[in-house]
Structure 1
Amino acid sequence: MIITNVNLVLDNEVVKGSVEIKDGIITSMSDTQSQLPQAFDGENGHLMPGFIELHTDNLEQYFTPRPKVDWPPFSAMSAHDTQLIGSGITTVLDAVCLGDYRDEKRQANLEQFINTVVESQKRNLTRAEHRLHLRCEVPHESTVPAFEKFVNLPEVQLVSLMDHAPGQRQFVNLEAFRTYYQAKYNLADHEMEAYEARQISLSERWSSQNRNEICRQCRELGIPTASHDDATEAHVTESKELGMVIAEFPTTIEAAKRSHELGLKVLMGAPNVVRGGSHSGNVAAHELASLGVLDILSSDYYPMSLLEGVYMLAADERNSLTLSQAVKLVTKHPAQALNLDDRGVIAEGKRADMVLAHKVDGHPLVKRVWRQGKKVF
């Protein structure tokens, strides 16, 4: 297969030309247009590597589309997968929460959620390649047992550790914690006080112990680990000492800069880019881009935000990112973090996972997606 008349978004430049694919692999590239009648005409769009998503909670909304409504799991998976492919995502780590004492519904769906991802891949039911990201809420007695139950699945590619207790990381600001959870769970003032006290108690009892144990096992198994919502240099130092390779959603410039300096790839939400800032009042992703300490974008809860975020960062005069550099945030850099050497760039010998994007009236749109050379959108 030949794709021609496209702007190839390469590692360090954008080149007008063509690409040839055979047996799912990119075999050659050219800076000229193909004259063969069977070549696919990309109509001057941008041809990028397929996007690699490390942290998405998107599947949950299809499992439970309304309160008290459970959707058939493989139907939910199909709808989720279709949305991801339509957003240009060809490799995805579906995030599943372990030890999430705040949400009983999540825990009830846990095993079914994981089995659906695993079985969908075994039966070739999806268009994107789906893997698993275990999100471990460390302040709970059930976290390590749940982690040990699932960590040996071959689909597990990333483990992150988080503590959403009041006064910790994302919720250093206690008022922000109260505002968020009191509204989320519709708690009266006295109920909120009891809830807050319980979360603090659980964090003091379990967080450090569980964090150390999960990281120890991941180091032995060779599974990459990620911190979550680091806010201080002390948090970052601890993450580095525990062997973490990704800093998910650092909440301050201080934490992001130190993570980058120590070699942790700084991951921020693409919705943060699109919206112009954090929904919880933490550091804006565009600030980190302007400082040169933004390494990876994640769509988090909105898949199309990856494509939109890439174009927005490349056009933002507050930073010096070219389109090639912005595209690396959703392709090459996440591939490197997971040691996926076969994808993440348009280059000879790499997987033909590719996205063709156009801008229509200033809005980026996904026109075609190929996974291993096969058209999947």
Structure 2
Amino acid sequence: MSETILTNARIVTRDAVVSGSLRIADGRIVEIAEGPSAATGAIDCEGDLLIPGLVDLHTDNLERQVLPRSNARWPGVSAYLAHDAQCIAAGVTTVLDALCLGDLGFDTERGQTFRDGVRDLDRLADAGVLKADHHLHLRCEIPALDMPEALDSVADHPRVVMASLMDHSPGVGQYRDLVRYRAMRVRQTRMTDAEVEKRVGELLERRDRLRRPQRDWMLARIAHRDLPLASHDDDTEATIAENLADGIKISEFPVTHAAAKAAKENGMEVIAGAPNIVRGGSHSGNVNAAELVEAGRVDAFASDYVPSSMIEAAWGLAARGTLPVPEAIALVTDRPARMARMEDRGRIAPGLRADLVRLRPFEALPALRGVWVAGERVG
């Protein structure tokens, strides 16, 4: 039996911060003991905090490694290894890689990123070379013409643990401000104003025609999996009502106070973007997530597009006194683990996986000094 003892640590449990030692054996937490350990070979944590490994329900970070610059696609396996390393460096030990299924005409590279990402995850995970525990989160672009074919190819994939319904059509959700949307597309592409306007009209027509039938098809296609289902970028109370009627119980990145309020009042769980907290607001002009936290309308954070944002967001809330340390840390550990129905992680408690992060606060930032996945030191 392989055993590791971490001592002289401040251990963040679900309810308290305990000064003591942690004993790990065969990848599991065996014992939490108050006070220092006298065992030979115990690792001195020098008073640092020990928290559970972070659980990221939604990260697009792989897309950023695959396309570090526009029209500069990076080799898939190399990109995945870089993504994995960045997650571990950010203390994220369980990763739900949120791959996008479907293109609305502005992100034509995403189809290849999805196909390559599934293939590369299988190859790398089966070879045992990934440091974090990776799974798949299917982000289904509901009005996209190619979404059904993409979903059908992975609907029964064993690494799929979550799915979300997205609609990035102009005029709704994240892009409900059409003036801002048009300006963004002109800036991001080489299209003229007239070309963007023509594309907007095509997308709105397609949404009217395909949104509901493809939504129904998507829900039926994966119903047998009984996966956690999330809606993406909810903006109105009517959107929340429709999601509830469809059996969706998670609101992911709501973009308005009204949507987040309706979600919580109707028993849905809410995921907020950690970068919103770190930056002090939304990058696209939507609701400030810190205000949702203060109103009690956030159950978990996800990194969205910056892995390091999760621990920075959680620790920032604790450092500012917005939340007690155990409650702030739970936003990126225990709560997302439960949303993903992973009951074996997310907390420091006997019997659970020894996914652990050692950190030392530096001003308002957490400096990571060690990461363990299933008891193995990986960072």
Residue 46 (structure 1) aligns with: 49
Q: Distance in 1 between matches of 2:290 and 2:362?
A: 24
Say whether residues 1:210 and 2:224 are aligned partners. no
- Alignment match of 2:349 (pick from 347, 350, 354): 347
- In structure 2, the residue matched to 1:59 is 62
What's the offset of the Cα at 1:360? 2.7
Q: Is the 8 A contact 2:315 2:364 kept in 1?
A: no
CA contact (8 A) 2:337 2:345 kept: yes
Q: Which amino acid aligns with 2:190?
A: N
Q: Note the alpha carbon deviations across 1:67-93, whole angstroms, 9 max, x for none.
A: 332322221111111110010000001
2:96 and 2:199 map into 1 onto residues whose CA distance is 31
Unaligned regions of 5+ residues in structure 1, if any?
A: none
**In structure 1, how many angstroms separate the alpha carbons of the residues matched to 2:184 and 2:310?**
25
Aligned equivalents of 1:35, 1:108: Cα separation in 2: 54
C-alpha separation in 2, matches of 1:276 and 1:66: 26
Quick one: which of 128, 131, 138 aligns to 1:127? 131
Q: Distance in 2 between matches of 1:188 and 1:305?
A: 35
Q: CA deviation at 1:362?
A: 4.1
The residue that corresponds to 1:364 in the other structure is 366
**Conserved 8 A contact 1:218-1:225:** no
Which residue number in structure 1 is paired with residue 338 of structure 2? 336
The aligned runs of 1:227-266 (5 Å cut-off) are 227-266=231-270
Asked if the contact 2:315–2:365 (Cα under 8 Å) also holds between the matched residues in 1, the reply is no
Shift of 1:363: 2.7
Q: Look up the match of 1:178.
A: 182
Asked if 1:78 corresponds to 2:89, the answer is no
**Residues 1:311 and 2:315 are matched in the alignment:** yes
The answer as to whether partners of 2:103 and 2:145 remain within 8 angstroms in 1 is: no
Question: Structure 2 CA distance, aligned partners of 1:336 and 1:181?
Answer: 37
Structure 2 residue aligned with 1:4: 7
Distance between the aligned counterparts of 1:363 and 1:194, measured in 2?
Answer: 46
Task: Summarize the alignment of residues 268-283 of structure 1 with structure 2, pairs less than 5 Å apart.
Answer: 268-283=272-287
Displacement of 1:219 after TM fit?
Answer: 2.8
For 1:336 and 1:89, how far apart are their aligned partners in 2?
Answer: 16
Aligned to 2:377: 375
Give, in whole Å, the separation in 2 of the partners of 1:241 and 1:337: 19
Matched, 1:28 2:43: no
Q: Secondary structure at the match of 1:44?
A: coil
Alignment partners' CA distance in 2, 1:110 and 1:347: 36
SS at 1:104 equivalent:
coil
Percent identity between matched residues is 40
Q: Deviations over 1:327-374 (max 9, x none)?
A: 111111111111101001000100000000112344311110000101
Deviations 1:138-170 (A, max 9, x none): 112221221111111001111111111111111
Report 1:149-160 matches (<5 A). Answer: 149-160=153-164
For residues 362 and 254 of structure 2, what CA distance do their matches in structure 1 show?
Answer: 34
* One-letter code aligned to 2:300: I
5+ residue gaps, structure 2? none
Quote the Cα distance in structure 2 between the aligned partners of 1:112 and 1:362. Answer: 38
Q: Output the aligned Cα RMSD.
A: 1.3
- Indicate how the Cα distance of structure 1 residues 63 and 203 shifts in structure 2: closer, same or farther if over 3 A, else same: same
- State the distance in 1 between where 2:47 and 2:23 align: 16
1:100 match: 103
| 1:14 corresponds to which of 6, 17, 32 | 17
Aligned pair count reads: 375
User: How far apart, CA to CA, are the structure 2 residues paired with 1:38 and 1:240?
Assistant: 53
- Which amino acid is 1:264 matched to? M
Q: What CA deviation, in whole Å up to 9, does each residue of 1:298-344 have, x standing for no partner? A: 11111111111011111335x4x211111111111111111101001
CA shift digits 1:98-144 (9 cap, x unpaired): 11132111123331121001221111110001111111111122212
Contact 2:319 2:364 in 1 (8 A): no
TM-score normalised according to structure 2 size: 0.96
Query: Residues of 1 paired with 2:234 and 2:72: CA distance?
Result: 35
SS at match of 2:168: coil
Query: 2: CA distance between counterparts of 1:90 and 1:357?
Result: 14
